[in-house]
Amino acid sequence: MEKSNLEGGSESLHPRQTSVILDSIADGVYTIDNAWRITSLNRAAEEITGIPREQALGQRCSDVFKSSICESCPMRQTMKTGKASIKGPVYIVDARGGRIPISASYALLKDEKGSHIGGVGTFRDLSLVEELRKQVEERFSFEDIISRNHRMQQLFEILPTISASDSTVLIEGESGTGKELFARAIHHLSPRSRKPFVAINCGALPDTLLESELFGYKAGAFTDARRDKPGRFALAEGGTLFLDEIGDISPALQVRLLRVLQDQVYEPLGATRSVQANVRVLAASNRSLESLVRQGKFRRDLYYRINVILLSLPPLRDRKEDIPLLVDHFVTRFNHLQDRAVVGVSEEVLARLMAYDYPGNVRELENILEHAFVLCSDRLIRPQHLPESVGVTADPSLSVVGRTATVKEMERIMILDALQRNGWNRKAAAQELGFHKSTFFRKIKSFGIELPERDGRTSSH
């Protein structure tokens, strides 16, 4: 780029000056050559994507940004027509696999003779705008968590208070229930929100590697340690560290972690002095840590240090009233990601989704709909687009005279189940399902549900 410029730009700046200017810009900026390989990336682009520039340089832009518009690339159109273009909102995928909404613009890059030598793209992180839009438009959403379930709504109510404190939080729930979403929501609502949120899956790494990932190491600490490497505690300094599947860490590492939580200090491998840690720790487990303590597999003192505040997330099978909301949410997300215009799912598909038990919880529902998007060639997802596992009614009680229940029949079953769970207390059942009391009573009458003389508010004894 030493002698290149954007059309009509100055040629007087030294490359180092140009780099300083680009790094001072809040928007992400990158350039590519005519082979679509990235030739420069500014600091904001690194921060938004989570990808270091040394890792991105020389890579194809589609491999780095993984945008929802890569298949119909606007940069390609710009380089073909010579006209600048603007696109948004679209999505890119960051280093952690998160979907980041952005607006982007593209222009040609020319040398001093006017020859095309590549292109330049700028993009702006719209995450905050997207979050605000969701809060206004989605009554039953909290950050990126979608639910009308009464237990989840109770968690929504206390989350701002929890976030305002600096206490350690333990989030328990089955795999796929959204534990990391809750952790991110706590961070985003906390006074630490402008500092990093760093996540690590403790169950995915062997003990020795996990230790160096958490605490880092000094050059010479072991054979291949040629230079210092900061650990996750250092990377999360001033912010939040999320320890997923904490129940899987070894007893030896539990001791080291206990010291960090007690004394707020740690020692990188090979270090001769302790490092102060200013980090809020959030932990999660898909197993009951209390049960692991009883089995002697988890330290009691560490458990009490982590379990200052406990959030228990219900599995999807216990909050099936959320399935229609989640379906709409994921259909909208995949439309953005894949530049599609799918309007939704058929009535029979929704009935089958309501009947399924979801051992993989919300993550499995997301995967089911992504599978359906791949196979769906029109604007409506139909039964033939579903995976075989949900192609038939999972629960025989949800089948009506040998056929799959319709959506109205599914709603009747859902209301009946809620009434039975709440001892026929109509007010409690209405609150659980998120219905207004008068609407709930009207539905009971329209479905012909017969209520017993006594309900949960009166004793039968």
Give the pLDDT band of residue 303 (cuts 50, 70, 90): very high
Give the 3-state secondary structure of residue 200: strand
pLDDT at 239: 96
Give the pLDDT mean for 354-363.
92
DSSP string, 305-339: HHTTEEEEPPPGGG-GGGHHHHHHHHHHHHHHHHT
Give the pLDDT band of residue 313 (cuts 50, 70, 90): very high
pLDDT at 61: 82
Q: What is the CATH number of domain 138-312?
A: 3.40.50.300
Greatest mean pLDDT among 81-85, 111-115, 163-167, 433-437: 163-167
Give the pLDDT band of residue 86 (cuts 50, 70, 90): low
Q: For 95-104, 212-221, 339-348, which range has the lowest pLDDT when averaged over its residues?
A: 95-104
Following CA atoms 275, 277, 281, 283 in sequence, which dihedral angle do they give, to the nearest 10 degrees?
A: 0
Q: Which residue has the higher pLDDT, 23 or 237?
A: 237
Give the pLDDT band of residue 1 (cuts 50, 70, 90): very low
Tell me the Ramachandran region of residue 114: left when phi exceeds 0, alpha when psi lies from -120 to 50, beta otherwise.
Answer: left
What Å distances lie between residue 31 and 75, 313, 361, CA to CA?
Answer: 11, 44, 41
- Residue 208 is given by DSSP the state H
Give the pLDDT mean for 293-318.
95
Query: Is 90 exceeded by the pLDDT of residue 169?
Result: yes
What architecture is domain 316-405?
Answer: Orthogonal Bundle (1.10)
Query: Is 60 exceeded by the pLDDT of residue 328?
Result: yes
Query: Is 60 exceeded by the pLDDT of residue 192?
Result: yes
Query: Is 50 exceeded by the pLDDT of residue 367?
Result: yes
- Rounded Cα distance between 381 and 362, Å, is 18
Give the pLDDT mean for 441-446.
84
pLDDT at 459: 42
Give the pLDDT mean for 398-424.
65
Query: Is 70 exceeded by the pLDDT of residue 71?
Result: no
pLDDT at 54: 85
What's the CATH class of domain 4-126? alpha beta
pLDDT at 298: 95
pLDDT at 143: 67
Give the 3-state secondary structure of residue 81: helix
Q: Are 169 and 162 in contact (CB under 8 A)?
A: yes
Query: pLDDT tens for residues 225-271?
Result: 677 888 899 999 999 999 999 999 999 899 999 999 999 998 888 77
Give the pLDDT band of residue 137 (cuts 50, 70, 90): very low
Query: Is 90 exceeded by the pLDDT of residue 200?
Result: yes
Give the pLDDT mean for 60-85.
72
Give the pLDDT band of residue 291 (cuts 50, 70, 90): very high
| Domain 316-405 in the same topology as domain 138-312 | no
Give the pLDDT band of residue 301 (cuts 50, 70, 90): very high
Q: Six-digit token pair at 283? A: 């932990």
Adjacent-strand bridge partners of 399 = 404
pLDDT at 394: 42
Tell me the Ramachandran region of residue 423: left when phi exceeds 0, alpha when psi lies from -120 to 50, beta otherwise.
Answer: left
The answer to pTM > 0.75 is no
At a CB cut-off of 8 Å and minimum separation 6, what does 335 contact? 341, 342
Query: Is 50 exceeded by the pLDDT of residue 423?
Result: yes
State the sign of the Cα–Cα–Cα–Cα dihedral 203, 208, 211, 216: negative
Give the pLDDT band of residue 399 (cuts 50, 70, 90): very low
pLDDT at 398: 46
Give the pLDDT band of residue 321 (cuts 50, 70, 90): confident
Give the chain's mean pLDDT: 81
pLDDT at 131: 61
Give the 3-state secondary structure of residue 150: helix
Q: For 15-24, 101-110, 187-196, 308-317, which range has the lowest pLDDT when averaged over its residues?
A: 15-24
Domain boundaries, the chain: 4-126, 138-312, 316-405
At a CB cut-off of 8 Å and minimum separation 6, what does 37 contact? 58, 59, 60, 61
